[in-house]
Amino acid sequence: MASFAQLGNDLYTGRRQFDFVGKRRTWYIASIILMLIAAGGIFIKGLNLSLEFTGGSELRVPGVSNMDDYEQRTEDAITKAVGGESQLSVTQIGDNQVRIQTEQLGTGTPADTAKVRSELAKEFDVQRADVTSTFIGPSWGDTVTKQAILALLWFLALLSIVLALYFRTWTMAVAALVALAHDVFFTVGIYSLTGFEISPATMIGFLTILGYSIYDTVVVFDKVRENTHEAMSTGTRNFDQAANYAVNQTVVRSINTSVIALLPVAVVVFVGFVFLGPGTLLDLALSLFIGIAVGTFSSIFIATPLLCDLRRREPQMRELAKRAAAHQSSQKVAMAASGSRATPGEGVSGVVEPERAAKAAEVHRERASKRTTHPLARLDRDDS
Amino acid sequence: MSPSSKPGRKKARPKTTIVALLLIVGVLFGGIALTTMQSPAGQWTPKLGLDLEGGRQIVLEPQVGEDQEINSQQVEQAVSIIRRRVDGSGVAEAEVTTLGASNIVVAIPGEPSEDMLDSLSASSQLTFRPVIVEQQNQPVEITLPQPPEPPKASAKPSSSGSKATAKPSATAKSSATSSGARGTYPEAYPAAESPSPKPTKSSSSKAPAKSTTKPAADKPANPSDEKWAQEPVESLWVKAGVVEKGATYQELVGAYNCADTEHQQLSAAASPKAPTVMCDQQAQAKYIVGPVEVNGSMVEDASSGPETNQQGQQTGGTQINLEFDDQGKKAFGDMTTRLSKFPETQPQNKSAIIIDGQVLSALGTNDAITNGKAQITGSFTPKSGKVLAEQLKFGALPFSFEEQTNDQISPQLGQDQLRMGLIAGVIGLVLVIIYSLFQYRALGLVTVASLGIAGLLTYGTVTILGHLANFRLTMAGVTGLIVAIGVTADSFIVYFERVRDEVRSGRALRAAVETGWGRARRTIIISDVVNFIAAAVLYLLSESNVKAFAFTLGLSTLIDILVVMLFTHPALTLLARTKFFGGGHPWSGLDPERLGAKTATYAGRGRVTIADRQAAAAQEGTA
């Protein structure tokens, strides 16, 4: 991991810098292409909505010791109990669980479900109490969706206010919200393309992604704000460079954070897939897994470049850009004379390595001393 | 220049802070110990939700008409009525809560009997409406819904195969025979002044309400007025597409289909101030009934008992005895006074006892009943009579309900999920620890210790909330906690990275910890605030499952702030004073050389060179 720490050092000192802001068109285009694919998935392929949205019944028989011919046996049991069911979907989950999904069981009454439960318990030789049954009315999904949308709107409204107040500019709130919309849309797109089932638990996951996406963006923006303050007082770099530097300085943190957030979630996804099958645990974890990964991407590649696009035209930032340009060109001349090679940090983030800065200062001093012979320079000194 | 914290900075007291935190943990667990000693309900483990413990959960949605508004008071009333019914059935630990604006969640541990569940979700919105028109239902529709099997206790009013909405009304379990819908109020109780000698014959009067083609200019005078039949129907019938706009109730009778559960729901949702059309439970007769005159909330007491005839002899049937409150007494008296004036042969002599858009029985009225007591004789079994009486006694729900979801979760599946969830959590935690140690060396141990403290606090809080606020840990909640591991760990990362940044800039470790903290604190707080807003919004606006998740997420955010403030930072401050960390040992995770600070030959304002700081650290380590 020494190299990783080294990368952190280099990013911090400016010896190595990624041009996140300057190459923003590339990220935008990449993102737009991905968005289009996602949109294609959503609008053409559609979403695989779970029973909670479509209505129907689900039964689960856990702890089955003999799984032989489980599909036929399930159908027989249901036929015996309520006289058959045409739209039956019987699947095996893990190595000992049978899941039955259907739009309607018998006449759709609790009594019929109870009969099916007993029959299934008998057929698969498990305790009746172990058989889980779920009945969901057709309008339940609407209720859930309505609530989720309401929660989403409130969250966005509150968040915009908090961010605008905290960062004292609306641009950061806008950039963060765009990144967030990107994350959600992208995540939903992945769900549509892979055909993963969307359940209410998945929707909780989506809502949490919002929180996480914003969280990640806020951490980066906080550094951007700090760097901007510094740039405003020293005038050594313009806003784009300050922002790019901030992303570079936080990129190690972003990676570490994402890895640490993803590790437990990944384990849950694994356990869920292998042992449990669809359910609250897996649904939540899967959406979080995708969302966290996408959220990290967007806070680096989308939110920050977008912020630069939004703020670059502010008079204050133009003023800063002029000052920075003047400073950097004079420094460049001095450094060119010192003879050391330029680092990428100078162009994209306005960071000059300490060694080079020291040499440049040296050159500067020499020149200044040479100038002492100039009559005007002497005049200057007399004045002061 | 001193490498230690700048003068003027508030003197940190890391030891005191950590002791304070340990005290909080102590108090928390002391509290749990106290609850276990004081009450048998107290326990050392968190209370589990239904999905982990096994049990039944039903979500009920109120059914109301278009022009009816549900207010929160009515929902609260419904919740308390259902709660009383659950308690009355002797189930311990059941919960009745609201979901969203108007839905109601009933959660019952274990495996409750279907009968009991039925009686809970049954709305039993009892009303008395005067009959205006009665007519035979067309035979074609009678044959439709009824399977040949004999009616049973849980027979559905209509099993015509329409959508799988288990009707709560099914539970008005008067598995009535065909005679059930007709009869009179038997004046059997001693208080009745004039014992009516002969019960009315059960003949339903035919050819009712010769369509009085009077212009409907003059409004109906009383609830029994035949003019109601000529009134235009309520908009809900038009919207549902049962009849055209402007149709009268007389026309609605023709269009009304007894076998259609949707029609029945519309009847149930009809305004109490307007007439409506409905059938009896056996779909043998259709009625136009007037506005509601007496409703279930006016019932003070209800009981069931053996049916007796005028001579006080038991007839073998079951009857329900109702006692009205003062308001009900007057309303019922007024109604029976008016109805008794109609000849027995007229349908207007009858009052319909209605539950959920169906006529339970339509009784002829011989005399005014002003003592506030009434008896309903239908063809109840002792059991169904008891269920209905209890429903009536424990209050009439302000509306009828439809089941939205009905989940029976087996305890085994819940335990499996919990076990797997915990295993996943532990593995995830171990991975996080390994990664932190890899990335941050000995500093990673601070992460581990912080996560440990956070874990203790969370466990304690969840457990004690289970006792104090009946908080139950569900699968969604467990997932929330697992997710929180990552979020919590991130606070430390933000902090450590900041400290490292400061070390890279050439600051001495003690100073780096302080400056790094000053900057990281801001970031940690704003990001936790964002997280907390997300959790709070989710918590306030969502239903039970999401709520549980949001709650644990919000809880762990708060605990995160607490731990970072009261443990991680003070611990790091203390460690910075040790030689191992302060000196930047290669394994400390803060080795300045590894962090590239050795190149810092150019030290800006307030920054010192490596040589300075190593010397200073060495000096302090020995001091």
CB B350 within 8 A of CB B184: no
The distance of B259 to chain A (nearest Cα, Å) reads 14
- Alpha-carbon distance values, A41 to A33, A46, A141 (Å): 12, 6, 21
pTM of the predicted protein model: 0.65
In this complex, is the C-beta atom of B337 within 8 Å of any C-beta atom belonging to chain A? no
Q: Is B535 within 8 Å of A140 when comparing Cβ atoms?
A: no
B602 in A contact zone (CB under 8 Å): yes
Enumerate residues 55 to 94 of chain A having a beta carbon within 8 A of any beta carbon in chain B.
Answer: 55-57, 60, 62-63
Phi first, then psi, for residue B374 (nearest 5°) are -145, 155
How far apart CA A221 and CA A167 sit, in angstroms, is 8
Residues of A in contact with B553 (CB under 8 A): 208, 211
Taking CB atoms within 8 Å and a gap of at least 24, the contacts of B446-449 are: B446/B492, B446/B568, B446/B571, B446/B572, B446/B575, B447/B489, B447/B492, B447/B496, B449/B567, B449/B571
The DSSP call for residue B365 is -
- Residues in contact with B234: Cβ distance below 8 Å, sequence separation at least 6, in sequence order: B65, B67, B270, B271, B274, B276
pLDDT in tens, A298-353: 988 999 999 999 988 888 888 888 888 888 888 777 777 766 677 777 777 777 77
* pLDDT tens per residue across span A105-156: 766 666 677 788 888 888 888 887 778 888 877 777 777 778 778 878 888 8
A232 touches chain B (CB under 8 A): no
Chain A residues with CB-CB distance to B431 below 8 A: 263-264, 267
Residue type (1 letter), A83: G
B344 shares contact with chain A (CB less than 8 Å): no
Closest CB from A57, A109, A162 relative to B533:
A162
Q: Residue window 421-450, chain B: list those with CB within 8 Å of chain A.
A: 421, 423-425, 427-429, 431-432, 435-436, 438-439
CA gap A263, A266 in Å, rounded: 5
- How far apart are the C-alpha atoms of A223 and A228, rounded to whole Å? 8
Find tokens 């990129």 and name the residue.
A251
In sequence order, which residues have a C-beta less than 8 Å from that of residue B298 and are 6 or more positions away? B324, B325, B327, B328, B331, B332
Q: For chain A, say whether B133 makes contact (Cβ under 8 Å).
A: no
State the pLDDT at residue A307.
92
d(CA B541, CA A157): 14
Q: What integer pLDDT is reported at residue B9 of this predicted model?
A: 45
**Is residue A303 less than 8 Å (CB to CB) from chain B?**
no
Instruction: Look at residues B436, B417, B374, B166 and name the one whose alpha carbon lies nearest to residue A138.
Output: B166
> For residue B148, what pLDDT is reported?
43
Judged against a pLDDT cut of 90, whether residue A93 lies above it is answered with no
Cβ partners under 8 Å of residue A223, min gap 6:
A246, A247, A249, A250, B523
Report pLDDT for A305.
93
Write out the two tokens for B83: 């709660």
Within chain A, where are the H helices? Answer: 2-13, 24-40, 51-54, 70-82, 110-124, 140-167, 170-194, 200-234, 239-271, 280-298, 304-311, 315-338, 344-348, 354-370, 375-383
pLDDT score of B572: 86
Among residues A218, A249, A211, the alpha carbon closest in space to that of A351 is found at: A249
Contacts of B150 (CB under 8 A, 6+ apart): none
Q: Is B428 helix (H, G, I), strand (E, B) or coil?
A: helix
Q: What is the mean pLDDT of each run of 10 residues along chain B (623 residues)?
A: 43 80 90 80 78 81 71 77 71 73 80 69 72 75 42 40 38 36 46 40 41 53 81 82 83 83 75 85 84 81 78 76 85 86 83 79 78 75 75 66 78 79 86 85 84 90 84 81 80 85 80 87 86 84 72 89 90 82 69 60 43 52 46
Tokens 């004079």 belong to residue: A330
**Structure token digits, residue A314:** 């502010």
Partners of residue A280 in chain B, C-beta under 8 Å: 51, 417, 474-476, 479, 545
Nearest to B364 by CA among B325, B324, B335: B335
CA distance B515 to A36: 45
Helices B610-622 and B509-541: crossing angle in degrees, nearest 10, is 90
Chain B within 8 Å of A260 (Cβ-Cβ)?
Answer: yes
Angstrom distances, CA of residue A375 to CA of A378, A381, B253: 5, 10, 114
Decide if B601 touches A, using CB distance below 8 A.
yes
Rounded to the nearest 5°, which phi and psi values hold at A88?
-105, 135
Q: How many residues does chain A have?
A: 384
What angle separates helix A200-234 from helix A280-298, to the nearest 10 degrees? 20
B134 in contact with A at a CB cutoff of 8 Å? no
B19 touches chain A (CB under 8 A): no
Query: What is the enclosing helix (H) or strand (E) of B437?
Result: helix B411-440
Q: Tell me, yes or no, if B113 comes closer than 8 A to chain A by beta carbon.
A: no
Average pLDDT, chain A: 81
Beta bridge partners of B364: B184, B350
Query: A113: which chain B residues are within 8 Å (Cβ-Cβ)?
Result: 406, 408
Q: How far is A71 from chain B (nearest CA, A)?
A: 20
Q: What is the ipTM of this complex?
A: 0.79
Chain A residue numbers touching B487 (CB-CB < 8 A): 212, 215, 261
By C-alpha distance, which of B210, B538, B416, B184 is closest to A63?
Answer: B416
Map residue B40 onto helix, strand or coil: coil
Which pLDDT value is given to residue A308?
92
d(CA B367, CA B457): 70
**B288 bridge partner residues:** B133, B277
The pLDDT value recorded for residue A110 is 63
Which residues have C-beta within 8 Å of that of residue B143, sequence separation ≥ 6?
none
CB of A132 within 8 A of CB of B408? Answer: yes
- pLDDT above 90 for A29: yes
Q: At what angle do helices B569-576 and B443-468 cross, to 10 degrees?
A: 150
How far does B76 lie from chain A, in Å, by closest CA? 19
**CA distance linking residue A231 with residue A247, whole number of Å:** 15
Residues from chain A that touch B175, judged by Cβ atoms under 8 A, are: none
Distance from the A171 Cα atom to the nearest Cα atom in chain B, whole angstroms: 17
